[in-house]
Structure 1
Amino acid sequence: MRAALLQAHGLDGLTVAQVDEPAPGAGEVRIRVETVGVNQLDLNVIAGRGPGAAAKLPRVLGIDPAGTIVAVGPGVDADRIGRRVVVKPNIPCGRCADCRSGREARCPAQSVVGVHRDGGAGETVVVPDAVAFDRDGLDAATATATVHSLPIVLNVFDAADVRPGDRLLVTGAGGTLGRAAVEYGAHLGADVTAASRHPLADAPGGVRALTIGDEADLTGRLAADERFDAVVDVSGSARLLGQAVAALDWGGRAAFCAASVDARLEIDARAFYLGRRSLAGVASADLAHVRRALDLVRSGAVHPRIGARYPLDDVRRAYREFPTTTPGKVIIDVR
C-alpha cells in the first residue's frame, strides 16, 4: 500500500512509499483511510523533537484518520466491517486505575497513533477497535477535523469548570482549537471574550473579539479592573497564559492544553492563592469526550472548519506549508 513514510528526520526524509499492508491483531481493526489531518505533532515527529522524539523510524505519519473498517482481528465483532469510523489518536492502556474509572486522558501509559505506532497517512491503518469511533452522519474530513481538536477542548472546559453565564476568556482563539473553544463556549451560554493575534472576523454572535497582535499583549487590551470567572488557553504561549491567569476573578479557574510557543510560565503566586484561583493542564481527552464531540458536530452546535486540502502524493507540501495555509483543519485526502 502507499503511505507517507518518514525514514529520516526532516522533510527530506519523508516520502510516499509502498509499505506492507498491516494486519489487525487481537482487539484491532483495519481501516481503509479516506482522510487524515495535518497536526503540530506530525511536525514534531518529522523534526524528532518534543513528544515526536518517541517515534522510532521508519514511521507512517498521521494521527487522526477517518475511513471504513475493512477487516477485524480476533475478539472484534465481524459486524464492525463496513462501519464508517474516525480514530482517536491517544490510545489508553485500558488497565490502569484512571482507565478503569473512565479518565483515559490521565492514563500514564497511553500511546499515540502516528508516533508510537504507524499512523493513518496511508491507504490503510490498524488501530485498537476501542479508539475507532462510529462517524455516522459525518463525512470523513469533518470527522477528522473533529476527533482530536474538539474532545481536547471539551476536556479543557471540564477542567476549568466553565458554566453558563461565566465570564469566559479564550486565548489563542484564532486557531483550530481556539475557534472550537469559542464556538463551544457560546453554545454553553458563557459570556465569551475571544483573544487572538489576528482579527476574528467570523466569531459567533455575542462573542467579544480582541485582537492582541503579534506581541500577544493581552494586558494592554483589557480594562485595568476587568476580570473573568474562567480562562481556556489554547495558544501554546505561556506568556499569554500568565496574562490570562492574572485576569481571573476571585475563585477563577483556568485550564490550558498546549505549550508549543513558549513553556516558561510566570504567575503572581500571592495573588493566585489569595484569590483562590486554580490552574489545570490538559494533554488529551477521555473516550467520553470523543463521543460528546461527535454528537455536538452532528447536532450542529459546533462546526469544524476545513482549511486547505492536499492529496496524499503532496503530503510533503502539506507539512511544509502548515500552518500558513487557509484557517481551519488541514486535510490530506488519502483516497
Structure 2
Amino acid sequence: MSGPARSIVVERPGAFRLVEAERPDPGPGEVRVRVHAAGVCASDRELFDGTRPADYARYPVVPGHEWSGTVDAVGEGVDPALVGRGTVAEGFRACQRCERCRAGEQTLCTAGYAETGFTEPGAFADYLVLPARLLHPLAPDVDLTSAALLEPAAVVAAAVLRGAPRAGERIAVLGCGTLGLLAVQLLSAATPVELLAVDPRPRPLELAGEMGATRALTPEQVGEGPGAFDLVVETAGAPGTAADACRLARRGGRVVLTGVPEPGALGLDPVLLLVNQLTVAGIFGAAPAAWSYAVHAFNHGLLRPKKLVSHQLSLASFGEAMRLVGSGDPEVGKVLLMP
C-alpha cells in the first residue's frame, strides 16, 4: 500500500527537517506500525543537541524510541492477525545469538549497540517499520496515548525486577520525573509498609502522593540520617543522587540505579558499600521480561501513566517539543508528539 508518510529527520546536531516520502513497506519478518503517539525524553534532546555519546547515536536519524501505535501491515512470515492490533515494541535490536542474549540479558548484547530512534529509524513519524519479534501487543481496550509511556515503564520494570521488592518492606524512590513516578506505581503494587518519594519540586511530589507514595519529601526534608530503607530505586540521574541512594539504604539493603548521570557525577563511597554490605545494581534499557511485566501491569491497570502527560503536540511541532524538554520548567511532564 503506497501513500505519503511524514517523518522528522535530525540531519546532525541542531539541524532537523520534516520530510515526506512514500510509506515504507515491511520486509520479511517485519511489521509496519501507524504511530499513534511518541514520547519525547531527555535522551532525544541529547540526540538533538549532539551531547549523546557517539557510540549511541547515528546521524541522520529519525528519533523516537517511546511510542505506541497500531499494526498497519505485515511482511512475509508474520501473522496477519496482528493487523489492527494496538502495540508497543522493544527498542534494543539485540542479536539473539551471543552469550548474553542467550542468557536473557539482551541489553548487554555483545554484537554492538542498535536501538530504535538512535541508530535505527524511530517513531517521530507517521509510520514505523521494525522486526515483528520486538512487538508487545496490547489489550484491546487500553488507552493508546498512555501506552506511549511503556518504554520508560519497561525500564522501571527492569529496575523493580532487579530490586525484588517484598511485601512489608520500606522502599524509597529518588527522583519523581517520568521514571520515578512510574516506579512509585509499580512499587506500590508490592505493598510496602512505607514508600517514600524524594524530589526537590512540589508538583512531582504531589503526583507521587497520588500514585501511591506514603510520604513525599524534598531532599532537605529527608536529611542525611542513617539509612533505613530495604530497597532504594534511583531514577533522577542528578550528580549526587546515586550516592544519596546508597546513604538511604539500610545495612544489607539493595540499591538500583536507573538515572543516567552526566559526566562529573559523584562517585559511590566504597567504605559505605563495604561496611553496609549494600547490593548495588544498574539498569540501562529493558530486556523482554521487563517489557512483558510492564505491558501486563499496564493492561491490568497497575500502571496509570496518563497524569504524567503534560503536552500533546503535532509532529510539525518537534522544535517546540525540544524547547519544552530542555526548558527545566517543573510544570513540563511527558511531552508527546501525535502524528
TM (norm. structure 2) is: 0.88
Q: Secondary structure at the match of 1:7?
A: strand
Counterparts of 2:20 and 2:119, CA distance in 1: 20
Residue 28 of structure 1 contacts residue 129 of structure 1 at CA under 8 Å; is this kept in 2? yes
Q: What CA distance in whole angstroms lies between the structure 2 residues aligned with 1:260 and 1:52?
A: 16
Cα distance, 1:231 vs structure 2 = 0.9
Q: 1:271 — aligned with what?
A: 272
Superposed CA deviations along residues 271-304 of structure 1, whole A, max 9, x for unmatched, are 3112211111100111121121122122222211
Q: Aligned equivalents of 2:64 and 2:333: distance in 1?
A: 17
SS of the residue aligned with 2:260? coil
In structure 2, distance between residues paired with 1:66 and 1:52: 27
1:69/1:59 Cα in 2 relative to 1: closer, same or farther (>3 Å)? Answer: same
| 1:77 and 2:79 correspond | yes
Between 296-305 and 312-321, the greater mean CA deviation after superposition: 296-305
Q: Deviations over 1:213-268 (max 9, x none)?
A: xxxx5xx6336334211110001024122022023212111011122445533333
Q: Is the 8 A contact 2:200 2:218 kept in 1?
A: yes
Return the match for 1:130 from 130, 133, 155: 133
- Return the alpha-carbon distance in structure 2 between the equivalents of residues 247 and 141 of structure 1: 35
Partner residue in 2 for 1:42: 44
Aligned to 1:235: 236
**2:285 counterpart letter in structure 1:** S
Find out whether 1:209 has 2:216 as its counterpart. yes
Match 1:114 to one of 92, 112, 117: 117
257-266 vs 227-236, greater mean Cα deviation: 257-266
Give me the identity figure in percent.
27
- What is the root-mean-square deviation in Å for CA atoms of aligned residues? 2.1
Q: Is residue 227–residue 247 contact of structure 2 (8 Å, CA) maintained in 1?
A: no
Match of 2:166 in 1: 163
Q: 1: distance between equivalents of 2:293 and 2:302?
A: 11
d(CA) in 2 for partners of 1:30, 1:277? 45
For residues 149 and 271 of structure 1, what CA distance do their matches in structure 2 show? 30
Question: Are the structure 2 counterparts of residues 177 and 52 from structure 1 closer, same or farther at C-alpha, using a change threshold of 3 Å?
Answer: farther
Which of 26, 29, 39 is the equivalent residue of 1:27? 29
Q: 1:331 aligns with which of 323, 328, 336?
A: 336
Matched-pair contact (CA < 8 Å) for 1:161–1:253: no
Equivalent in the alignment of 2:314: 311
Q: Give the Cα separation in 2 of the matches to 1:237 and 1:145.
A: 22
1:91 — aligned with what? 93
Question: Residues 78 and 102 from structure 1, CA distance in 2 versus in 1: closer, same or farther, beyond 3 angstroms?
Answer: same
- How far apart are the structure 2 equivalents of 1:295 and 1:90? 20
Paired residues in the alignment total 324
Q: 1:70 to 1:267 in 2, by over 3 A?
A: closer
Q: Which runs of 5+ in 2 are unaligned?
A: none
1: CA distance, partners of 2:48 / 2:137? 30
Structure 1 unaligned spans of 5+: none
CA distance in 2 between counterparts of 1:134 and 1:154 reads 17
